[in-house]
Structure 1
Amino acid sequence: MSKFKKISSLVLAALIVFSTAGCSTNHEEEQKEFDAFIEKEFVEAMESDYTTMHVYLEQPEKYGVDKTKVEVNLGTRVDEESQKEALENAKKSWDAFEKFKRSHLTDEQQKIYDTYAYQEEIDKALNDEKFDYYQQLFGSMTGIHYQLPTLFSDWTLRDEQDVKDLILLVKDVKPYMDSIIQYTRTQVEKGLLMTDTEDVKEYCDNIIKAGENSSILTSMNTSIDALKLDDQKTSQYKKELKDAFTSSFLPAYKEISELMKDVKKANNNEGYAKFENGKEYYALLLKASIGSDKSVEDVKKMMSSDFDEQLDNMRKLMMKNSKVLEAVMGDLPTTSFKSYKEILDYIRPKLADDFPEVKDLDYEIEPINEEIASSSGVAAYFNIPPLDGTTPKQLRVNPKTGDVNTINNYYTVAHEGFPGHMFQYAYMYESSLPNWCKTMASSSAYTEGWAVYSQYYAFKYLKDIDQDVLEMIKLNELASYSAVIVADIGIHYEGWDFKQFSDYFNSMGLTADEDGMKKQYAQLQANPAAFEPYYVGYKEFSTIKEKTQEKLGDKFKDKDFHEALLKSGSAPFSVVQSNVDEYIKNAK
């Protein structure tokens, strides 16, 4: 709020005091209302979706969440009536939000306002009728068919009621999937299907082949055993779960497999650019994935420039140190670590010098479900913990990705664990941010960009390995992914076919055999804007850091800088930058 100059007249002074007091009161009331609005958004989000509530809250009632309002199912159906109702509810929230004046809020509230506004703007645009049926639900990397096995394999059972609810969820798989299959068939009728049908079919066929012997079912049974109920109840619940799995889960995957076979010829095997409003839709997806208002052209220019910069830095490194050539040729160094736990335990005590304090960093490491490990190729992932969780944070690792002592496994653990996602969430949960910011605020470029930044930052802790070699590994990967993002834009915004895609990579010196090229094209074609959160997000963080170092010089401290980055929670980069600006101002 503005400060008023002193005025000699007692009457005028009294009027001004009255006026400013009235203004302050109005603003304070609006600030309280804004806090209440954000908290209400959190509560309603929890009450609107059972899986969301279960993941984030162990004791919902302590957060004002009424469990009796929450239907135990997999969520809103993908049919026109359900989607219309969901959109109407969203519009009510948007209307309530737009009554607040940003200038009336506190500095911290303004950052929350900006985060909410950024998401609202994108959500509104994506819900335009001209984009009906543009969303692809069977992406080969993140499609719903891929998400459900992981969801059930990792599902936490805290008490007997959770077992009953899990059985209901498994029973709901087929009804839920039926709505998605019907949605997909409508996409075909409208000429709007775009997925990797062969990849999706292969994944589902592997699930079907395992049948009742599925390790997904085994994982759920193991969770039931861990509750240590009496033998009769345990046996009964396992029987009910098996019945649900065989009558709902497996038939749903058979239907998806058949669907992929049926729609193969009607599928668009190129990008969004082939659809009437595809370029505009892709631009919105890109915006949602990068956490900023940069245009498609801006991102392409940034990634093209970044590719050139990485190549130039690689040349300089090779001139400085001939050993780095080994990294380019694939002869990568190894570490001495013999377990994933050893990696995290090695990094953890080093965090205190470079990152802000986090009190609860207790964790456990579990293997990825066997079927998922075999079919996904995912090296590791971090399970988002509940806000009020009392159990250790969980890192899932894939033992099928090679020896633990590889450099890839080291930085994957740093990405998912310390100082990546596990540290990031631990810090956020201990912060004073509203619960909505900790759960519903979603900037994938922030969360994944931080994790990529962290995985490379953790290289500095490997004192026994030539840092130039590690830098070369980093530069080589960043250059490759910069090219991948340019290609993603080429496919979905500029309409590249396979030949144009292949020609581009060849011109960049990134050659591969034709089968390899086809697999890469198919992956990008079926998963638009999938890689941008990681590498555009990383580029944003590294650029902010470079500029901050230039401004502060010797006063720059990694620990304070990292605190400035982390305090925003999962927010667009405009909010991150505002926190960094405050750090710069205070550090000078």
Structure 2
Amino acid sequence: MTNKFLTLSRRILSIFLSVALLSACTAPPNAPATPSSAGYERYRADDLTMQKEFNLFTDDLFREEISNSGISFHFTIADPASRGFDTVPLTLGDFSLDKMKNNFKDLMELKKKLTRFNPRKLTSDQRLTYQILYSYIDTELTSEGLELYSQPLTSTIGIQAQLPVLFAEYAFYSREDVDHYLSLLSTIDDYYAQIMEFEKKKSEAGLFMSDSAADHVLKSCEAYLIQPDHNFLAETFNSRIDALNDLTADEKAAYKEKNLKVLEEHFVPAYKNLIDGITALMGTGKNDKGLYWYPDGKEYFEYLVNSNTGTSYKSITSLKKAIEKQMNSDIKALGQITKEHPQTLDQLETYTFRYTKPEEILESLKTQITADFPELPPCNYTVKYVPEALESSLSPAFYLVPPLDRYEENTIYINGNPRFQNDDLYTTLAHEGYPGHLYQNVYFLSKKPSDIRSILSFSSYSEGWATYVEFYSYSLDNGLDPELGKLLAHNTAVTLGIYAYLDICINYEGWDKEQTGKYLSNFYKVENTDIVDTIYSSLVENPTNYMEYYVGYLEIMEMRNTAEKILKDQFNLKAFHTFLLDIGPAPFSVIQPEFRNWLAKELRNG
């Protein structure tokens, strides 16, 4: 499998207020839907043997995968010894074209090993893991030959923007963690050199980013050219060192000096070299439009949609129609609200939420969601603010997924940049905290799933859930006029839907900036060319980023609407939410059959 950095949660920025892809994975052989009629499962001796072998298979896979990157390893397991690890990988990984090509050979071998198991002999949880792994492998194999279309460097979600934040949050549980941290940080210049070699190959193939996109990445890199003693990585390092009890004052001072030296000799040069490398390649990227305009761009977009959304739709055309349908539903609801409650329009510029401080908001959300969501085990959270030097290059807010053996400890970052001051912090923290990312991750990890499932990234499930509950939070007792809350929720959904819709139009159908501007002007009265430019460049530089959010929201809403329609008075919102949370991160092509089983069970029980 491709080694991926831990994904930081991202939120969209609503710029204005108005108002599957070619083939989902084929079903694996001998993989029936999970039985839903029996209240228990019965197995023969050979079944139990296969179940044990499957656990060994997934455990070995987990150990192999997290050993590819020291950052991923540390953010996945806080106590390596508890999982039988006696060594820690001191590398950021191998980001090379050869490695990517070899990954496909590994995936084919992994698929062979997986299909040796008969899903009928596995437990229901193992069967689900089997389906998820099979879908994941099949999807990733469709990108073979398209390796150079990968985009490791983008303005706010690229490796160069995310990696320093992960270093800033690298927890020090012991002296050994400090040594591992400094070793990893010392390799950042070599790692970025690998990325630049990859970018040179992209350039040679005519696939390098446009000058506009390069300018955005350069600005992101410049934010890290900070003198070591004023670098946020020095500040965060010092505070983590000071909190360790097993170091003397002299040892702490020595570590602080060593960190400054690493920042000076490796970290800052790494960003200088990135800047020099990107600058040297500027002018070689000839395409300033969407993926459609590259030789295999449409094919790569199909892969991205499948990989990043896991949609249950069989083609991009059918997915686009579903997006239009959901958008029309939200637009219709907007019209109904403004017609029946015209006063809500007068409140758009003056409304405020009852709570404005992060801790007050999170505690209010935690209390209010108990009626519609299952109970969480005890956990805690820390709210932090993005370092000022990074405010211009990072998202409005994000959540860091905790190690699977310390899921009780959670961190949410808020970006204090003035350009985000109009974002509603209440709904932002519903997205990042309760009942969003924090809640979903704590719930899932507290169920002690197979370790392999904790590292398989299905961002559309995670972001779709967080987006869905963000919209849900507008309906809570939050200080808003209830009708205004509904209006804001539907409007935000439409805004995000426009991004998802245009993503397809630009990257799959080849729309240029002029066509995009006409669409926004004709349908949403957006005449500001700066807004059009911002939307267009964002979708060109980050294909399917917004679709991860919207398609996940769309799939969840479709399941909920179906359940409400079929179950009628039997529908229970908490039961529906519990079903989605119990399934955990997975492609929607895998979730949908499980949903149908759940629905049938609810009907029988009613």
After TM superposition, is the score higher than 0.5?
yes
- Unmatched 5+ stretches in structure 2: 1-29, 31-41
Per-residue CA shift, 1:133-164, capped at 9, x if unaligned? 11111122311111122111222111111111
Secondary structure at the aligned position of 1:109 is classed as helix
Partner of 2:486: 471
Change (3 A) 1:202 1:556: same
- 1:502 is aligned to 2:521: no
Among 289, 297, 300, the alignment partner of 1:270 is 289
Structural mapping, 1:482-497, within 5 Å: 482-497=497-512
Change (3 A) 1:576 1:326: farther
C-alpha contact 1:79 1:179 (8 A) present in aligned 2: no
C-alpha contact 2:155 2:393 (8 A) present in aligned 1: no
Per-residue CA shift, 1:309-339, capped at 9, x if unaligned? 2222111111110122236xx4151123241
Change (3 A) 1:401 1:354: farther
C-alpha contact 1:565 1:579 (8 A) present in aligned 2: no
Partner of 2:429: 413
Partner of 1:169: 184
Structural mapping, 1:201-350, within 5 Å: 201-209=218-226, 212-228=229-245, 229-267=247-285, 268-294=287-313, 295-326=315-346, 330-350=348-368
C-alpha contact 2:435 2:466 (8 A) present in aligned 1: yes
d(CA) in 2 for partners of 1:428 and 1:569?
Answer: 6
Per-residue CA shift, 1:485-527, capped at 9, x if unaligned? 1211122111222112212212222414222221221111110
Amino acid at match of 1:206: A
Among 447, 455, 460, the alignment partner of 1:445 is 460
d(CA) in 1 for partners of 2:343 and 2:257?
Answer: 60
Change (3 A) 1:114 1:142: same
Secondary structure at the aligned position of 2:47 is classed as helix
Shift of 1:548: 0.5
Partner of 2:74: 54
C-alpha contact 1:385 1:393 (8 A) present in aligned 2: yes
d(CA) in 1 for partners of 2:501 and 2:487?
Answer: 21
Partner of 1:359: 377
Percent identity, please.
Answer: 26
d(CA) in 1 for partners of 2:68 and 2:478?
Answer: 49
C-alpha contact 1:452 1:538 (8 A) present in aligned 2: yes
Partner of 1:111: 128
Partner of 1:18: none
Aligned length: 558
d(CA) in 2 for partners of 1:466 and 1:254?
Answer: 51
C-alpha contact 1:272 1:278 (8 A) present in aligned 2: yes
Change (3 A) 1:162 1:107: closer
Among 367, 384, 387, the alignment partner of 2:401 is 384
d(CA) in 1 for partners of 2:546 and 2:368?
Answer: 29
Q: Which moved more, 1:339-348 or 1:105-114?
A: 105-114
Greater RCO, 1 or 2 (C-alpha within 8 Å, sep 6+) = 2
Change (3 A) 1:264 1:501: farther
- 1:424 is aligned to 2:440: yes
Partner of 2:580: 565
Per-residue CA shift, 1:413-441, capped at 9, x if unaligned? 0100000011101110111421211x122
Shift of 1:79: 4.4
Amino acid at match of 2:236: S
- 1:515 is aligned to 2:515: no
Amino acid at match of 1:364: T
d(CA) in 1 for partners of 2:436 and 2:243?
Answer: 29
Structural mapping, 1:519-534, within 5 Å: 519-534=534-549
Q: Which moved more, 1:549-558 or 1:34-43?
A: 34-43
d(CA) in 1 for partners of 2:299 and 2:103?
Answer: 23
Partner of 2:415: 398
Change (3 A) 1:332 1:172: farther
Secondary structure at the aligned position of 1:355 is classed as coil
d(CA) in 2 for partners of 1:132 and 1:335?
Answer: 46
d(CA) in 1 for partners of 2:439 and 2:192?
Answer: 35
- Unmatched 5+ stretches in structure 1: 2-20
TM-score, normalised relative to structure 2: 0.87
Among 393, 397, 400, the alignment partner of 1:375 is 393
Shift of 1:206: 2.5
C-alpha contact 2:320 2:504 (8 A) present in aligned 1: yes
C-alpha contact 2:95 2:191 (8 A) present in aligned 1: yes
C-alpha contact 1:568 1:575 (8 A) present in aligned 2: no
d(CA) in 2 for partners of 1:78 and 1:238?
Answer: 33
Amino acid at match of 2:310: G
C-alpha contact 1:344 1:417 (8 A) present in aligned 2: yes
The runs of at least 4 aligned residues of structure 1 exceeding 6 Å deviation read none
d(CA) in 2 for partners of 1:199 and 1:407?
Answer: 22
d(CA) in 1 for partners of 2:478 and 2:198?
Answer: 53
C-alpha contact 2:91 2:187 (8 A) present in aligned 1: yes
Amino acid at match of 1:218: E
